[in-house]
Every structure is written in structure tokens, then in C-alpha cells.
A and B are shown apart, each in its own frame.
Chain A
Amino acid sequence: AQSVTQLGSHVSVSEGALVLLRCNYSSSVPPYLFWYVQYPNQGLQLLLKYTTGATLVKGINGFEAEFKKSETSFHLTKPSAHMSDAAEYFCAVSGPGTGNQFYFGTGTSLTVIP
């Protein structure tokens, strides 16, 4: 069975501060891991993904995430938050053991304080 846990449904950071959004997964086989961002009344935009290879993945808008198998984590970070980063962020897992189905976390709402 696959599942995704996003710790913290709401995260607030000051503009310019570090952004850290947490994601842990459970998977019986090596997973594919994704972070998506959703702005109000819009669909999901892919930020970054890990499938194979380098465990530190860089995405768009200055975000990156590191796959840590030992910790079953795929936390999303950005060194310096920008006002435009305020959005809903979803972590998702897929992979050979999921029947090609995506399993989404419950989402984390990021607020950036001026």
C-alpha cells in the first residue's frame, strides 16, 4: 500500500526566509516522488520529480527536494521565500508498485509574510 503524509497543513514563513515543506511516504518498492504547486482556482503545476538517479532534485522557481530512502522522506525546500510562492503544495508518490496510480498528500498551504 502507498501513502503520503505531509506534516503541517499550514506553514507560514517570512519573505526571504527558508521554506521547508515536509513529505514522508510509505512504499513497498522504490517510489517515484513528486511535488506539485496549486494556485487558487488552478490546476496542478509540476515543481519537481524524482524517479531515479541523483537524490537531490532541483525544480522550477528555485525549489529543490531530496529523496532520503532511509528516512522515507522527500522534503521540499527553497532558500528564500518570495511572496509569489504563497500557494498550496502537494506531495505525491507513484511508481511500479502503485499500478501507475498517483497518491497525493493532503497538501500544505504556504503563506508568505511580507
Chain B
Amino acid sequence: GAVVSQHPSWVICKSGTSVKIECRSLDFQATTMFWYRQFPKQSLMLMATSNEGSKATYEQGVEKDKFLINHASLTLSTLTVTSAHPEDSSFYICSAGLAGEAKNIQYFGAGTRLSVL
């Protein structure tokens, strides 16, 4: 149980285009999902907390107009990187917490590697 699916696993795009990444909880409902960014050989940096039916909460320094988050249902959150540039190239990982169980336990997707040319 508690499987989180992330799609796509790898995307290459041209500079200036937008890219959407999906995060789905397959066998549970997630009222809260999290989006992280990971640079090579570094740890995960929390970008934002996505709450179903409300606006996402962004961490300091993360541009909310650049990284659009939508959490339209209890099983799906999307991250859209708008007008992507090479510096946005990174590994993006989402996670979801189980409602009811300690909210502090998160289950992670497999990640999306974004390469902006």
C-alpha cells in the first residue's frame, strides 16, 4: 500500500516552454502532497506543500509564479514549471502523506528528471 506515482520520469524540453509533472497517490487519499527539488549529489529541498482544494504553501525563495502547483483532487497534484530555463534542470520529487496515520509519514514518488535545453 501507500504507492505514489510520478509522471513523467524524465522530460527534456526547450528553453521557454512549460512542463507539467503529475503526482498521484494510487491506493490512498492524500490531503497533503509535497514537492521537492534535488540537485546532483545534494539533499532534497522542500519547494512547496500542496493542499487539496486550496493554494499551495511555498517555501521561502521559491517563485510561485514559476512553479505552479495544483491539487485538484485527493489523489492528484501537479507541478508546472513555467517558461523553463536551463537553471530549472533538476530532479523533482513529490511525496504524499496518509490522512489519519501520522501526517508526518510521507511516501515518495520515483522522481522526474527535467532537462531544459
> Residues of A at under 8 Å CB distance from B?
32, 34, 36, 41-46, 49, 51, 90, 94-95, 98, 100-102, 104-107, 109
Q: Which A residue sits closest to B109, measured CB to CB?
A: A43
> Residues of B at under 8 Å CB distance from A?
4, 6, 32, 34, 41-44, 46, 49, 91, 93, 95, 97, 102-111, 113
Find out whether the CB atom of A104 lies under 8 angstroms from the CB atom of B43: yes
Query: What are 11 contact pairs spanning A and B, CB under 8 A?
Result: A36-B108, A43-B4, A43-B6, A43-B93, A43-B111, A94-B104, A102-B44, A102-B95, A102-B104, A107-B42, A107-B43
Interface centre among B41, B93, B108 (most CB of A within 10 A): B108
By a CB distance below 8 angstroms, the chain B residues around A34 are: 105
Q: How far is the CB of B8 from chain A (nearest CB, A)?
A: 13
Find out whether the CB atom of A45 lies under 8 angstroms from the CB atom of B104: no
A102-B104 Cα distance, complex, nearest whole Å: 7
By a CB distance below 8 angstroms, the chain A residues around B107 are: 46
By a CB distance below 8 angstroms, the chain A residues around B34 are: 102
Find out whether the CB atom of A100 lies under 8 angstroms from the CB atom of B111: no
Cβ 8 A contact of B43, one of A45, A98, A106? A106
A102-B93 Cα distance, complex, nearest whole Å: 13
Q: How far is the CB of A106 from chain B (nearest CB, A)?
A: 5
Find out whether the CB atom of B110 lies under 8 angstroms from the CB atom of A105: no
- Contacts A106-B42, A107-B43 hold; do A32 and B110 have CB atoms under 8 A apart? no
Q: How far is the CB of A63 from chain B (nearest CB, A)?
A: 17
- Contacts A98-B104, A105-B43 hold; do A41 and B111 have CB atoms under 8 A apart? yes
A80-B4 Cα distance, complex, nearest whole Å: 30
Find out whether the CB atom of B108 lies under 8 angstroms from the CB atom of A45: yes
